Amino acid sequence: MRPSRVASAVLAALVLSLATLFTAPTAVAAGGQYVALGDSYSAGVGAGSYLSSSGSCYRSTKSYPYLWNASHSPSSFSFVACSGATTADVLGSQLSALSSSTTLVSLSVGGNDAGFADVMTTCVLNSESTCLSAVSSARSYITGTLPGKLDSVYAAIRAKAPNARVVVLGYPHMYKIGGSCIIGIGDTKRSAINAAADDLATVTAKRAADAGFTFVDVRGVFTNHEICSGSSWLNSTTLPIYESYHPNSSGQASGYLPSFSGAA
């Protein structure tokens, strides 16, 4: 007996639906060219397990870009984020990893331009007034000078990778206010440092949005996991010293990775 046209249509739709169900995940996992740009927070400094080939860039196999690549298997992965990188470094040495074939870019940058390392050193080793002065200078730079530098970086990324989805990640609050540490700095210094992170988030979010990029604010996911929280995803002063004040392996895997994955 010959099937009716309705029955044939239903059968065809069912076959198409099943085919989509079983083939879609493979197609998603296999595609795309991913490039990870930026500074130490994207390189994974502080998480350990550094790639020997990365030298003083300290790219970690526990960083969010490396973990994302391992679980999503894009067709290519260029990991060029580097410890200490500024906006000038991204423009000068990292952009060559991009092309018109790039489909996904991750980036964190701006903290080093604002003198993050010097501010932390000043606040840990010097008086409250000296710390507050250093933070104030950094905040002035963030609101006055950094926006133009970010605009230059974002424009260059778009020019080199016109077809890419670009995800810009921010920085967490460094300290838990009112939290307890055996050694460390007081809440006045902590609040000032966190306020600078707020400025960075505000400026970066605006510049990224104006460039048509996606900004991911990680301050929320790091809440209750700051230094002095009792469950920190960030290193305090530690050895080797370059790992100080950076996300540890938990900060990368539980903080940055899901934040990036949700926007990629």
Q: Any idea which residues carry the catalytic annotation?
A: 40, 246
Q: Tell me, what amino acid is at 216?
A: V
Omega before 25 cis (within 30°)?
no
DSSP string, the chain: -PPPHHHHHHHHHHHHHHHHHHHHHHHHHH--EEEE-SSHHHHTTTS--B-GGGGGG--BTTSHHHHHHHHH--SEEEE---TT--HHHIIIIIGGG--TT--EEEE--STTTTTHHHHHHHHHHS-HHHHHHHHHHHHHHHHHTHHHHHHHHHHHHHHH-TT-EEEEE----SB-TT---SS---HHHHHHHHHHHHHHHHHHHHHHHHTTPEEE--TTTTTT-SBTSSS-SB--S-SSGGGTTSB-HHIIIIIIHHHHHTT-
